[in-house]
Chain A
Amino acid sequence: MDAAEKEEISVEDEAVDKNIFKDCSKIAFYRRQKQWLSKKSTYRALLDSVTAGKESTRFQIINEAAKVPLLAEVYGIEGNIFRLKINEETPLKPRYEVPDVLTSKPSTVRLISCSGDTGSLVLANGKGDLKCHITANPFKIDLVAEEEVVMSINSLGQLYFEQLQIPPKQSTATKENEEDTSDNTTQENQEELGLWEEKFRNFVDVKDNGPASIGLDFSLHGFEHVYGIPQHAESHQLKNTSDGDAYRLYNLDVYGYKIHDKMGIYGSVPYLLAHKLGRTLGIFWLNASETLVEINTEPAVKYALTQTGPVAAKQKVRSQTDVHWMSESGIIDVFLLTGPTPSDVFKQYSYLTGTQAMPPLFSLGYHQCRWNYEDEHDVKSVDAGFDEHDIPYDVMWLDIEHTEGKRYFTWDKKRFPYPKRMQELLRSKKRKLVVISDPHIKIDPDYLVYAKAKEQGFFVRNHEGGDFEGVCWPGLSSYLDFTSPKVREWYSSLFAFSVYQQMATAEGLIQRSKGKERPFVLTRSFFAGSQRYGAVWTGDNTAEWSYLKISIPMLLTLSVTGISFCGADVGGFIGNPEAELLVRWYQAGAYQPFFRGHATKDTKRREPWLFGEEHTQLIQEAIRERYTLLPYWYSLFYSAHVASQPVMRPLWVEFPDELETFGVEDEYMLGSALLVHPVTEPKATVVDVFLPGSNEVWYDSKTFSHWKGACTVKIPVALDTIPVFQRGGSVVPIKTTIGRSTGCMTDSPYGLWVALSTKGSAVGEFYLDDGHSFQYLHQKQFLHRKFSFASGVLTNSCADKRGHYASKCVVEKILVLGLKKQPSSVTSHSPDGKAQPVAFTYCAKTSTLNLEKFSLNVGADWKVQIQ
């Protein structure tokens, strides 16, 4: 229950009533497309109409039934991306093209047209390793990478394009036309197909220019594994939809959403990734209307026993995945990301939609939320509880009840008479307060925000031109039209000029700090590109083990579609978790990017110290592990911010050549160094952990036991066990002491976990800045260091010479895992060339070397030699 687009009025149902949401059978454009496609009518490209412009190559495509030609455009985009646009050549009025998602107009590269035989056209990139092979009849595009057809478009003939029409009443004069468009549409049939009007429950959708849906198919050759298109409470690897509902992309508030379901929930990113050995591809379907995606995977058939000779047999061996996109309106505008590696695809996608915003450091700490902390006294005592139990946390949250009757931008004067005093208290401990703000505005002429927005005409309109009204938590409300830049600007100003209000929206917060401070904004409603503005959480989940478990694939899916800063409500928003579930959830949440405990108002209080001393300690320990690893988290976010690499990574991303990793979703990588396998089963005593990579070695982060990769190991677990493994060859920076908040730990020393590879080497990066401002960007005030270990020497060197940032922090402890031989001496070489012996202890049993009493500045060039 927080900032999001609210579509439905029901907010209190304990379990989701699926009847109030549409499935495919209730979606008219789905029925229309299915009906039409069954007629097998095909398009052909008019290749004699080809014009090669500066930016794109254009040609017409035509369908015998529709007669009116469509215009297709193929673009080459920088970074090995193709873009295909299909639109009406002369629509009645411009069809909607999604603004504000692409960071800027993508730079195009000229495609070389080297037409093949008649009836086809080949467009190649400069290097010639990527080609679009366009076939005229039936219209089809093959994407050829390094002489291999990796993808075909419209090879199943599912291209569909409904053209805008003049309403039948107005077009009686052009009778002929009407017959064209509405042949065999009786009144009843019209209603059934939702041509001019579509009803669902008490909602009526009027279509001024008739149906306008679009659709297109993509066949991915040799691919069996596809991912992405959040948000669904589903597995990470997308499932075959041939015997059920398609994946729906449509932002909805679904309180207590059902899991393992393809219904759309809070947010949507119409972006799909496909992966096979040797290649990763992306399909970014830039369309913001309601969208359905059908997936059909034909697995590889081994040794097809046919008598048709070796060639045919070989073809049958190949697997294929067909992806069929259908959208309610707009145009076909699709980007084909050609990889070839997962990392390349991430870069290609972020080139289009932007990278993860660099979060302020505090937002990576622990957040404490509840709907609702009742009053100032409540806030004070919860805050004191954290200190009393010595549990670090960074952010206190207030949900909607802090306002005067859910009029956002106001304070309830009875509950919060002195908001400034309350914020001072938190500030004195270097903690923050975050408050909620929803997009609906209570209809109340005496409410200044409403009156102003009404006067300015800032609300979303209904079909008749009046302000749309809906019921949400404040009662009858109107909804600000955030698609308008003017409305956004006005809304931002509300934050900037509110003295007592610490409300968060990115622009407003930046404005308020006069452009200096990095904002922190959390949302559960999102679209492609939302990563540029902050964090996303998975909405109203439930306090059940199954929801803890599904949080991992849900976050992995968000992560590979650009949204690195994501999390699920720890403990489950709805219902009361038992102590064991809560502990396990804290342990899992501590290793997920956005880490916040949250609960709905009907639940029992569940602050970390309310479940007995044993559980308090376990939760404290989990949160402390989070704070210990903050330098690593922060460095990962920097990598997401500048290099587009997700923070939380499915195993297939790190091990793209290991087939066994492609379907794994109960464990994942944090960056490239840590493998996390959270315990998600009650009363677990052992978990099966798959450690990938035949050339890898893995170290248990607590016991330092190690295993060779490419095996599944049985790890015994107690209630205090969080199975985390460090990959050989990595260096992880940590904090050695934990304060009560990130702000209190600024000067505390660092440690390094150096885990040696089978070759005895390791490497890792470290990023540091002031943690809150834009100076890292504008003044290059940052430190980017590289730690590398080779031939017994650990080196701290500069990774980015542009950055300068003075830190008085020292590296205090170094732990080297996997050192086979006890050293005879360890010497440090400081920047001034001084050599000093370093005290150490060595444990032969676990092959670990502990360097102690170390005190070299984290930002200086130094070496440590182990002999």
Chain B
Amino acid sequence: MLLVLLLLPMCWAVEVKRPRGVSLTNHHFYDESKPFTCLDGSASVPFDQVNDDYCDCKDGSDEPGTAACPNGSFHCTNTGYKPLYISSRWVNDGVCDCCDGTDEYNSGIVCENTCKEKGRKERETLQQMAEVTREGFRLKKILIEDWKKVREEKQKKLIELQAGKKSLEDQVELLRTLKEEAEKPEKEAKDQHRKLWEEQLAASKARREQELAISAFQELDDDMDGAVSMAELQTHPELDTDGDGALSEGEAQTLLGGDTQTDAASFSDRIWAAIRDKYRSEVLPTDPPSPSAPDLTEPKEEQPPVPSQPTEEEDEEEEETEEEEEEGEEGEEEDSQVPGEQPKETPPPVVPPQTASPTEEDKMPPYDEQTQAFINAAQEARNKFEEAERSLKDVEESIRNLEQEISFDFGPHGEFAYLYSQCYELTTNEYVYRLCPFKLVSQKPKLGGSPTSLGTWGSWAGPDHDKFSAMKYEQGTGCWQGPNRSTTVRLLCGKETVVTSTTEPSRCEYLMELMTPAACPEPPPEPPAGDHDEL
């Protein structure tokens, strides 16, 4: 590019006669001795219709120097700067588009020729850019070499770790076997211990039940004749089975299994079980029998039976209705009582077991010495196994990280690898922006406050032919009624690594520019020293 520019003045020395708006390369199409054929071949017109301000060719090629064709193009030579094609519709529209001013030859305005100045500035810029590119590219080569070394080291480390991992795995397997062996006797001893205790519990329960039956029998046996008759049973109307509130003879007889009376033995065996849940002792209150088995392990903390509270107002109406009904049915209901799920009729015949402090009986006795020894041994085996397993996991994690880093796509030659464990910041009026390449982008208010994620590493996002010119960070913090924040990081060639700008072109879609030597392309071969000095 630089060379071409420098050579241009030589070409311009030869002025070729051509219609207005035609480039040097196209001038041979415009031979004034012949009719003009449109460049697309669509028509042929007498040469005096070229640039006659009327559009004849579909492609606009007969009017290269006027605004007559909607799709024509006008060529500016721009001596001293770069030649340029502009839309022919911009010819004579009062706006200077060509730096040599040739596009405005009949609009009444005079365009200053700024090509020389622009060319000078352009060359300066190009020179600066070339300098930056050269230096950047030199640094890039170093970065590539560095990464090669680092990568080799990491690979070595990886191999070491992989070897270590194998022996660790063996150890884990060994310890697992030992652990399992130690757990077998532990389990047997514990099971045995539990079984014994459960048998004890069952026996004592049966005993208690028997006692209850006997005492009930004695209560019922009003005439103490050693038998409970139908009439005696009928003194307990709560045993009513048809819901009429009284125990009829028939019902009593049914309860007695069709007999008219029963003795103590068959009462305990057959009848007690049928009436125990309804039966109300005459000597209240005694500790009623617990209908359920006690907890087999630790007694759990029982919650007092609190009726579930209806949520918020949505149930309010329902609740009120309930209350009204209840009041209607049962005037004595206390106001303070929270209406709940339990039916509000007579109190339940058998009060659920109060959470009495667990009796000695309910608690499992401590393990015997032998069992405890098995447990201790197994525990130790478990600890050792788990420790080994943790070490294995750590090694695996290190391997994964290393593998990931080594196989990460750091550009064609790994030139971007040095960014991997770095973070770069840019402070604007309001925020501190932080870019940790290949990891995340965040934004933090300058005056304190927690950072907002603008995205985590997604992928390289440059165009197909230049994939490594941009990075995409995705899935940042969600925007209110909007998308998740995301950031595109454009990589620009520079001598240093620095974030140069951050903008938000669309809501929650950020654009960041990172200058880095790694983005520097290979510069063209340096011009000979002599030419270089002239610039």
Contacts and interface: CB of A to CB of B under 8 A. Distances in A.
B93 A739 contact: yes
Contacts of B509: 604
B90 A737 contact: no
Contacts of B54: 812, 852-853
B429 A414 contact: yes
Contacts of A14: 481
B95 A737 contact: no
A478 B446 CA distance: 31
Nearest to B72: A737
Interface in A97-114: none
B55 to A, nearest CB: 9
B95 A428 contact: yes
Secondary structure type dominating chain B contacts? loop
A853 B482 CA distance: 56
B507 A737 contact: no
B49 to A, nearest CB: 9
Interface string B81-97: 00000010110111110
A429 interface: yes
B67 A748 contact: yes
B290 interface: no
Nearest to B86: A387
Given A852-B54, A853-B54, A740 B93 contact: yes
Contact of B70 (A602, A605, A737, A812): A737
Interface in B427-460: 429
A590 B95 CA distance: 25
A702 to B, nearest CB: 15
A578 B362 CA distance: 72
Contact of A738 (B70, B481, B482, B503): B70
A316 to B, nearest CB: 52
Contacts of A744: 90, 93-95
A740 B482 CA distance: 35
Contacts of B90: 739-740, 744
Contacts of B92: 747
B89 A738 contact: yes
A740 B95 contact: yes
B506 to A, nearest CB: 4
B383 interface: no
A660 interface: no
Interface string B294-324: 0000000000000000000000000000000
Contact of A745 (B70, B93, B481): B93
Interface in B77-122: 87, 89-90, 92-96, 107
A833 B476 CA distance: 77
A12 to B, nearest CB: 9
Contacts of A414: 429
B505 interface: yes
Contacts of A743: 94
A604 B67 contact: no
A429 B95 CA distance: 6
Contacts of B68: 737
Contacts of A739: 67, 89-90, 93
Nearest to A743: B94
B63 to A, nearest CB: 10
A384 to B, nearest CB: 12
Contacts of B506: 603-605
A602 B481 CA distance: 9
Contacts of B503: 374
A743 B94 CA distance: 8
A601 interface: yes
Contacts of B67: 737, 739, 748
Secondary structure type dominating chain A contacts? loop
Interface string A787-817: 0000000000000000000000000100000
A390 interface: yes
A430 B95 contact: yes
A604 B70 contact: no
Contacts of A429: 95
A246 B429 CA distance: 51
Contacts of B69: 737
A757 to B, nearest CB: 30
A198 to B, nearest CB: 30
B94 A430 contact: yes
Q: Which of B68, B70, B95, B107 has the most CB of A within 10 A?
A: B95
A374 B93 CA distance: 29
A853 B49 CA distance: 11
A14 B87 CA distance: 43
A427 to B, nearest CB: 10
Contacts of A428: 95-96
Nearest to A610: B506
B95 A604 contact: no
A601 B94 CA distance: 35
A673 B90 CA distance: 31
A254 B69 CA distance: 47
Interface in A561-616: 601-605
B166 to A, nearest CB: 53
A602 B107 contact: no
Contacts of B94: 430, 743-744, 746
A605 B506 CA distance: 6
A605 B505 contact: yes
Contacts of B107: 747
A597 to B, nearest CB: 15
Contacts of A374: 503
Interface string B489-511: 00000000000000101110100
A289 to B, nearest CB: 36
B138 to A, nearest CB: 32
A390 B87 contact: yes
Interface in A712-747: 737-740, 743-747
A428 B92 CA distance: 13
B143 to A, nearest CB: 31
Contacts of B70: 737-738
Contact of B482 (A430, A602, A746, A852): A602
B429 A737 contact: no
A852 B49 CA distance: 13
Contact of A601 (B93, B95, B96, B507): B507
Nearest to B483: A604
Q: Which of A603, A737, A740 has the most CB of B within 10 A?
A: A737
A604 B507 contact: yes
Q: Which of B67, B69, B92, B107 has the most CB of A within 10 A?
A: B67
A423 to B, nearest CB: 15
Contacts of A745: 93
A110 B471 CA distance: 81
Contacts of A430: 93-95
What 8 A-B pairs are tightest by C-beta distance, nearest first? A744-B93, A604-B506, A739-B93, A605-B506, A602-B507, A853-B54, A429-B95, A390-B87
Interface of B: 54, 67-70, 87, 89-90, 92-96, 107, 429, 481-482, 503, 505-507, 509
Given A737-B68, A743-B94, 9 more contacts: A428-B96, A602-B481, A603-B506, A604-B509, A737-B69, A739-B67, A740-B95, A744-B94, A745-B93
9 contacts: A737-B67, A737-B70, A739-B67, A740-B90, A740-B95, A747-B92, A748-B67, A812-B54, A852-B54
